[in-house]
Structure 1
Amino acid sequence: MTIYQLLVLFPLWICLPHFCSPEIMFRRTPTPQKRILGARVPRSDGKILHRQKRGWMWNQFFLLEEYTGSDYQYVGKLHSDQDKGDGSLKYILSGDGAGTLFIIDEKTGDIHATRRIDREEKAFYTLRAQAINRRTLRPVEPESEFVIKIHDINDNEPTFPEEIYTASVPEMSVVGTSVVQVTATDADDPSYGNSARVIYSILQGQPYFSVEPETGIIRTALPNMNRENREQYQVVIQAKDMGGQMGGLSGTTTVNITLTDVNDNPPRFAQNTIHLRVLESSPIGTAIGSVKATDADTGKNAEVEYRIIDGDGTDMFDIITEKDTQEGIITVKKPLDYESRRLYTLKVEAENTHVDPRFYYLGPFKDTTIVKISVEDVDEPPIFSRSSYLFEVHEDIEVGTIIGTVMARDPDSTSSPIRFSLDRHTDLDRIFNIHSGNGSLYTSKPLDRELSQWHNLTVIAAEINNPKEMTRVAVFVRILDVNDNAPQFAVFYDTFVCENARPGQLIQTISAVDKDDPLGGQKFFFSLAAVNPNFTVQDNEDNTARILTRKNGFNRHEISTYLLPVVISDNDYPIQSSTGTLSIRVCTCDSQGNMQSCSAEALLLPAGLSTGALIAILLCIIILLVIVVLFAALKRQRKKEPLILSKEDIRDNIVSYNDEGGGEEDTQAFDIGTLRNPAAIEEKKLRRDIIPETLFIPRRTPTAPDNTDVRDFINERLKEHDLDPTAPPYDSLATYAYEGNDSIAESLSSLESGTTDGDQNYDYLREWGPRFNKLAEMYGGGESDKDS
């Protein structure tokens, strides 16, 4: 007997004790109480257990889902043993769906379902039943719980969680390789019948793939499926319930399967021979072309490494693998020369970098091709015989002497004549020149090693037929020394001899320098031009000499300075010599030989005093002198004669307001003493109460001539002060007292008149007298002001 048959017969087995009636029977106990005591059951601990017995018995009901009848579906019947059939009892139903989904006949206890029930929504309902006395509303039975279980029917088909699946499997996989597992679910009750038992089958995708009926695992069905032949497959899987039997429900899904690549294909060159061309002038590193081997695989399985494995150009060319394009770039490794070789042959190999050992049986994963490279001719510039030239020449050669020759040739097969020239930027003084035809370099000016020992020249070689093709080369000319300079004193010597010097006393050590640079080094000899009774020279044989005294009793008052000619000669050929004269002063010295004073009685400065210190001392002295002069001038100015000599000499001066003045020390606001002597303005001073913007050079204002009107003279002076920015403030009035230079009559005294000529004219008194009086009144003078 199967499980399905047991599930179907189970409700019948439940109903047999109740005569196959779907009802719950309430049994009345012998006592009026709802519970009675049954048999006593002894326990292991000696206590007696009493088993209770309810007044009604209950069980679960079964109900088929998806009822399609027009009437309410009958579920079962509740019945109490106290029900006499007279309608005195009332049955009450409560719990899941009571009153809505399930209703009960309160008199008979019959239960009905009001609508169709779906087991997938709810598999069972738990309800409570009670019987009460209709008149007293008291329960005659205790409330009891029962279950209505919904029997399943096959009303749901299997469904897949994904409508479309995506999977992959390596190509060349063996038969039975697992690809992916698909699983369908069925909402029906798996514990009741075969409604939820699913079986898988393949509807599309054969003969390449298969599916396991029970698990839904998809596997490969054909050996060595090649991705290069076909990459994409679409498989349709069906899931059917009822164990796959007839009448079962089914669902389908689609699985897109991709064959992934494995390295099962070697690279292949499309051609056995590849031809490339390159110019002979191509610099090192120039890319001249590329080769490419194709691989049917993808990704890293198609990565290729290129190398040159053979050929006569392995040392002239190189190959680089370009990862992005998977090409082999051939580059120039060494300089090319069309005239030397015009064709090279290379054998290039392309090999996979990631090889799968499982597919070694397919053969080597590499391929080769032949690359032929043709070198093409270009018009090349001339080539010098050396990368640089070094010429050495003595400085005493004659102008026009050839010092060396540079050589260059045209490397082209059709040789072109070459013209040589000098880059004048490297020979601005035009000391050298070059023969344009043969490249001979010669001098055009005298050479002097002492001025420049090296000359760095640049020679240009250019083709005559194509001047643009040119080459430059460096030429270094070294000037060799010739002994053409006489030695001289190394420094200027300030030599002195003490009056108390003794014979043989050292007064000076001298040395010499020479601009020449002999190979053996410098060697100087010192001697006197003539025998000197006062001094002698002693050669130290180390390019220095000592000057010694030959007598004592030097007197600076008799001879203050001695001139000593010293002959200095070198040791090179031809021997050069010169005469240097030492100036030896006679000075007084202390007992230790320290100089105190010389013939000029010059102020002796402390030894080691620098030039800067001397200048600082002189500046301090000058500043002190200036301060003394200014102080003396200021003091003299303060002692200037006052305008008013007595208390009687008082004038009415005009008071200037808005000008407070500088006080008693403001002596330069204006000088009234100028009126007395116009010549006093000659030394014009700047005001101290204002700061002038520009220093004006004092100008001498000529005094009024004898016949000039005093009023005009004063107006001119006022005008000058108005235009002078260093004059007193504009609202001040400068007062002038003009005495005049002299009188044309020389004297107004009657004593003098008697001695003068009789034709003397005194009319000027009548002309100038009133004017002087008027002027005196204007400026505050009275009769007492006789000097004005």
Structure 2
Amino acid sequence: MQHMIFVCRQEIKVHLLEVYWTAAQISFSVPEEVDKGTVVGNLARNLNVNIRDLQTRNLNIVSGYSKKYFEANFKTGDLFVNERIDREELCPNTIKCTLNLEAILSDPMVLHRVEVVITDINDIAPNFVEKSYSLNISELSPTGEHFLLPLAIDADTGSNSVKTYRLSPNEHFSLDVQSGGEHSVSAELVLLKSLDREKQPAIKLTLTAVDGGKPPKTGKSVSADLVLKKPLDRELDSIIKLTLTAVDGGSPSRSGTSQIIINVLDTNDNHPVFSKSLYKIQIFENLPKGSAVIILNATDSDEGLNSEIEYSLRKKGQDRVIELFQIDSKTGAILVKGKIDYEEHSAFEIHVQASDKGQPPMSGHCKVLVEVVDLNDNAPEITVTSLVSTVKEDAEVGTAIALVSVLDKDGGENGRVKAVIANGAPFKLDTNYKNYYSLVVNGPLDRESEAQYNVIIVATDEGTPSLSSTSTLAVHISDVNDNPPRFSEPLVNVYVRENSPVGALIKTITAVDSDIDQNGQVSYSFLQSNSDSLPLSTMININSETGDIVSLQSFNFEELKTFQFKVQATDSGVPPLSSNMTVNVFILDENDNSPSILAPYSEHGSVNSESIPYSAEAGYFVAKVRAVDADSGYNALLSYHLSEPKGNNLFRMGTSTGEIRTKRRMSDNDLKSHPLVVLVSDNGEPSLSATVSIDVVVVESTADIQTQFRHVPIKEESFSDLNLYLLIAIVSVSAIFLLSLIALIAVKCHRTDGGLGRYSAPMITTHPDGSWSYSKSTQQYDVCFSSDTLKSDVVVFPAAFPPVDAELISINGGDTYTRTQTLPTKEKVREGAFVSVWFFPTVHKHAKHLDHETAEDKVNRVSLNVMQFCSNMSDFFFFFKKAYQDEKKCHLPGKNRKVSEMSMMHHLNKHTLS
């Protein structure tokens, strides 16, 4: 048997790289299987960017594939191949293969869509699935009968796929090559002459599939029919062996072969015939299983078993078809067997065979082209690629944080997708190209109110009904130092007791910063001021981490009553932010000072003498003990007592005035000398005291009484002139004092009335018995002067503290006082204010019995009265000066001020005239 060799002409196909530049995207093309480093195109030129800017602006090529097929050369600006590109692996069963890239430039960030088209090369040879294929052909088969041959498969596309088939030279068969659709070629074996099995029982043929590439190589699966050229004679050739060869046009050529063994049979010389050789139908995807696609009909001219037809699907080369379809062997109905999905296969080519039951059976073939109609059965798929891990809360509007791509496997309107942000997050989607978006900042961000945003992206297609999908992107907001530390209040008052130990905790200052990490870490310090007169650094210290303020010394209320400083809280951010708080520290008095006896008497340890006449009446003034206490408030409120019980039957002590007076007249049984011990106690807790000893000596006459005034020689005849001088002096002093008082009132009356300050106004009120009182609401002491005590030294120390509960102290004519006070709580004691009042009565008004008064006694008495009046004037002037100062602090309203001033003048004149 002679074999013929077909030589394929090799063609060289040169692919040129084409660059397409539009405003929306950049397009390149590159053949598959090119070497690594092959330049695809110049990005710098197409992006209109200087080559030096590619590196400074951090050019980044982003793709959604597992391999990084392309990279950019920063020195030349070229886009080059970085990985092996196999078109058949990337885009199987597709005509056009494209890779979508994103070229990202920062500072500012610009996104460019880059599309690279992968062109096919003829790199795969046609291949037969079966290396050997057997056909049973009756020797009675007529000339021109077609027989189905196995398909050759070529993974290449277009002109590189299978284009034709070739059969090895023989005298019995030829090939009938058919085109079943776009890029689909089939071949059938045609009988050229009758077969004679007895002469040639077997015939061997070679089938070659040739693609249309340059050089030609193999392509997709193609069917070929074997055509009988002449009748067979089983007696001559019972078996015919043919070789089917697939040869490409390479140099050297490559080929794949399949052996076809033909068994020549007797009888049954008519094969079934279909009404059409090619059927075309349309079906919807997702068609239910068992649904009929088409009912085929074939007829056989034979009779009996040779005309009974059975339908079947060709099993060779259409495995996917067999998985999805089946045929009823009796009726010829093609039924749906699996899931029909447009997105996987948009069309099917079904090869059906009709065989009779003759011996040997004969068959006919047809082809059914099934087009699948798309339904909107696929929701869009959302892919999010984050560009940054966190977003700063001060990020500007328009900052890109992620790339979003949306894909819908459906076609047409079913595949058109629109993406939006569903929730009210401060972000938006900017369209880049088709279904590609950039997620950018669209509003101000605040980490303190929202540390993480869950951006909900919803993609909806335009199908009917429309389908949608949702993707949630967690955007973490990073902190910036935009919040200073904040105190709960701008000013705080702190109360510290004097004599507190060194290192005692005064106050803990706390500031809160809404930022986190270093931006929220707060440190504390004292804010230095040029006006600070106190050595603050030697007095207190602050812990920079905890804000604890501790004392560095023990405070003394008598030296320092209050001081002020500022605390600054600073965070650790860049730049650091800070805020201030003012701290007022008030030192609270402790009873740490004992009363001190004033001259002319000394404290305990020496004896002082006083003399009284034997004729002294009850209430005779003996002496007055004066004492002061360096403390304040209750700790400085002094009381006087006679500690020796022996002196209590003849003398009495003014508990508040310190005056010693006689209780009764002297008797012959009384001693001539009376030792008295005066105890001066304060009202502190615990109470402190001091004592002084006074010996009271009883003399026969007033001439023996030694006073600082009794040694002035005065003549009897000059008494009237002295009284005249004294009267002139009294009138002059009174006139000066009244003028001063009127001027003071005039100044105050012309002052603008203001609202009450933090202290209430001092008030002077009258009483039915002719006495007056001065009260202040911080601690209200009502000092009542009776007719028995004209000489009183009133010293008022206004408090430097906020007001507390009021107190009233009244002193009656019996030298006793009553105190009415609403005791403050412990908290109010810390916030309290104290007013110290000392009373220093000097001498009595007049002796009630002046029958035995001598001229010298008169002179002494008048002199004492003058001194007493002058002292009273000085004390009252000092008193009104202090009242005026207190009133300025308290902003007494004009009406009350005028009433108080009139009351003051009335009582002043009354006491002055007396």
TM-score scaled by length of structure 1: 0.36
- Structure having the higher strand fraction is 2
Relative contact order (C-alpha < 8 Å, sep 6+): which is higher? 2
TM-score scaled by length of structure 2: 0.32
Larger Rg: 1
